[in-house]
Amino acid sequence: MEKFPKTAVILAGGQGSRMDYRDKAFLKYRGRTFIDHLLEGVEGFEEIIVVSNRPEEYREYQVRVVEDVIKGIGPLGGIYTGLLHSSYEEVMVVSCDTPFQNREFLNYMGRLSGTYEIALPRHAEGREPLCALYRRSLVDGIEELIGEKTYRITCLFNKSRMKWIDIEALDKSREIKEGFKNINTPEELKEIGGEV
């Protein structure tokens, strides 16, 4: 199997308020948990870290689990925590509520290189900050934002060298875009035939 000298960070620290406060990482699709699907998708990365505030729930997984360094500030806090704990300069961030992530695309991100600080997918429907590459050198910039109580990831873009990845220009762009779909509510879980 091809290996990528990067860290993959799976963000699983959210409260799941729209999912009746269930841990979305352990929702099931086709008999397997979301976290199982994601771990399979990122297995080419040399290091895998799960950011979760309930590390005890991952005891049966052979994976490193870390808690948010700063709790309650959303995905920016998870990205910050992942960067701090990463052994590699580049960190692929994915969210635990996206069980359809396209493995070929994740491998594409694993092979990516350049002088960017953030490599971010974008397409006609928007941008995908929770399926993107971030460099550890961003830690200081994130700390500045946190100090200003500015927790929107998009505010980091203005401070960073960006590489925009045009999804529409890639092969299998439709399948890649479907992989970005996140499951936030019991209704969305039901739509995909998932279960708790």
73-132 pLDDT, tens digit per residue, is 999 999 999 999 999 999 999 999 999 999 999 999 999 999 999 999 999 999 999 999
Q: Give the Å distances, CA to CA, from 154 to 45, 97, 157.
A: 25, 20, 5
Q: Answer yes or no: is 193 within a domain.
A: no
Residue 189 contacts residue 145 (beta carbons within 8 Å):
no
Range of the domain at 63: 4-187
- Which residue has tokens 């960190």? 91
What is residue 10's predicted lDDT score, i.e. its pLDDT? 98
Q: What 3-state DSSP class applies to 56?
A: helix
Residue 195 falls inside a structural domain: no
Can you point out the beta strands (E) in 68-146? 90-95, 118-123, 126-127, 131-135
**7-65 confidence digits (pLDDT tens):** 999 999 776 666 666 788 999 999 999 999 999 999 999 999 999 989 999 999 989 99
pLDDT at position 23, please? Answer: 80
Our count of domains for the chain comes to: 1
Whether residue 196 lies inside any domain: the answer is no
Burial environment of residue 110 by CB neighbours within 10 A (0 to 12, 13 to 18, 19 or more):
buried
Q: Please give the pLDDT value at position 16.
A: 60
Q: What is the pLDDT of residue 15?
A: 64
Q: What is the CATH number of the domain that holds 87?
A: 3.90.550.10
CA distance 72 to 70: 7
By C-alpha distance, which of 96, 122, 127, 133 is closest to 6? 133
Q: Looking at the domain assignment, is residue 192 inside a domain?
A: no
Domain-located, residue 124: yes
Residue 18, in any domain of the structure:
yes
Q: Which of 30-44, 116-130, 146-160, 178-192 has the lowest mean pLDDT?
A: 178-192
Q: Is residue 194 part of a domain?
A: no
